[in-house]
Structure 1
């Protein structure tokens, strides 16, 4: 790459062209996933929205097309809570390669009772972590066939204050919804870092990167009807919070950079510049509790057993 392009600062409003490339965004129909998809579509790439709800996916695609002239977007029916359906979903992609996948979809519950997926896994851990863990096995051949495939796992700022309980990954003994959600995001992020270590060990061309949106509020997010409408009063009341946090459009910036920036390397963590809560994307230090190889190895083994996956997740 010429030195001039290396020295050019990253501009969230002037993204590099990605024409001819294909990206999959899980949960691309709403929130951070929607804005990630919208911003990636503006680069000329084909963007596939992975969503279990066809109506919501249709609304998201209509919104993107109304804002991005000539956008190439399509829907992939995808239910991360149903592990047995994932191979069929990937087969429906009908691609010979995939340039990047963004693991964004997630469930966040605020109140008890504890709920389970159809496979019998705690819903947040089973969807947010196990679903993406298992999906990797089926996407591995497509990512490996790309010239420089990437897996971008979307973590959470909330994960900084949580720690995994390796003896209670499914929260059967201690179920508190916010804690269980935070731990599911810790598991996702640990997986993202461990996956890159394993990819580097086998000399893979695929990179695994982790990004998080910081503090991203619906009330500070611009309207995207019919996906979501932010009332003027709601936005006005949220303005003081805007000193510390941001909308979900800006929350997508670190994720988009992790997908597109040729200078991003595997095993890195990207988040907002100001205290990890708001602002333009920058690289952050990886918290020690997410980088411990012994913890990650135990999580990997337990996840593989729960999801019934190949130990190498399809990478050789």
Structure 2
């Protein structure tokens, strides 16, 4: 039986979803891998969107070793190459898609500034514009499902950031960590604005925004060869476990947003304790994300830069 709003959510006892098809971008590593592994345990078909086929193969091998009978496959997906997204969606080979989890992301630690082949700053172009355009390509498949969801994975690092709408590509002032935080903030604005536009269209598709809190590799269980945690790393990270968690737990808000019928479009979900660790819960939309004027301007910029409108009218 599917859970209802009155049923406590148990991250270790997920509802069955056999017959559903879910796409997880960046599902070959990190939080995306654990989102895919946990969704596979529901009986659903899970498609890993991955830029590197060998990494996707390693992730699928790991998932199959832990989830007997897992229905998992992969498609090549490069969010930094907007012209390739149509072919990627076609390669899904499905007539309907029950959810997409926008998880993939690029995080650079140091300068210099880099660009995609389309001429966009790499983190903004991949993390935000790539998912913006992918959503537009996927919308016919999502609309064909009875109650599909777009789940956008933001970041707690975005909470302290503000967008510079006059410098979205960080051409004037590039600082890697700030640019990353702003790219994730842009994703979160997009997820909320998408739901507003879908509601106006009367669409059955809902858009939910989540974030993983504080998720560290050193607190993440090993999944060789995808991720291997040494004993030394585990011991050194033990004190941090009071405040943050591993990436397996960072996956929980996204998994709940895909599966729980009590979750609604336009909501923000994150970890229960200080928004950093613990079971997933709904939280108040951050103050900057409530600015619909900024969201609308960002949407217009995304439409102009990609020539796609994910929430536009459809004939």
1:25–1:103 CA contact under 8 A, matched in 2: yes
Q: Distance in 2 between matches of 1:198 and 1:209?
A: 13
- TM score, norm. by length of structure 2: 0.98
Q: How does 1:271-286 map to 2 (within 5 A)?
A: 271-286=270-285
Q: How does 1:1-316 map to 2 (within 5 A)?
A: 5-310=4-309, 312-313=311-312, 315=314
Rounded Cα–Cα distance in structure 1 between residues aligned with 2:311 and 2:216: 37
Q: Secondary structure at the match of 1:161?
A: coil
Tell whether the 8 Å contact from 2:216 to 2:245 is kept in structure 1 after alignment: yes
Q: Classify the secondary structure of the residue corresponding to 1:93.
A: coil
Task: Work out whether residues 194 and 310 of structure 2, in 8 Å CA contact, stay in contact via their aligned partners in 1.
Answer: no
> Is the 2:201–2:313 Cα contact (8 Å) retained in structure 1?
no
> In the TM superposition, what is the alpha-carbon distance from 1:136 to its structure 2 partner?
0.8
Separation (CA, whole Å) in 2 of partners of 1:315 and 1:183: 30
**Do 2:100 and 2:151's aligned partners in 1 also have CA atoms closer than 8 Å?**
yes
1: CA distance between counterparts of 2:202 and 2:307?
25
Structure 1 gap segments, 5+ residues each: none
TM-fit CA distance, 1:308: 1.5
Question: Contact 2:21 / 2:44 at 8 angstroms: preserved in 1?
Answer: yes
Q: Deviations over 1:190-216 (max 9, x none)?
A: 000000000011111000000100000
TM-aligned CA distance change 1:5 to 1:206, over 3 Å: closer
State the Cα distance separating 1:46 from its structure 2 match.
0.1
Supply the RMSD in Å over aligned alpha carbons: 1.3
Question: Cα offset for 1:307?
Answer: 1.0
TM-score (norm 1): 0.98
- Secondary structure in structure 2 of the residue aligned to 1:180: helix
Distance in 2 of aligned mates of 1:208 and 1:191 = 9
The alignment of Structure 1 onto Structure 2 pairs a total of residues equal to 315
Q: Match of 1:263, SS? A: coil
Contact 2:101 2:152 in 1 (8 A): yes
Which range is displaced more, 273-282 or 287-296? 287-296
For the 8 Å contact 1:140–1:314, the answer to whether it is kept is no
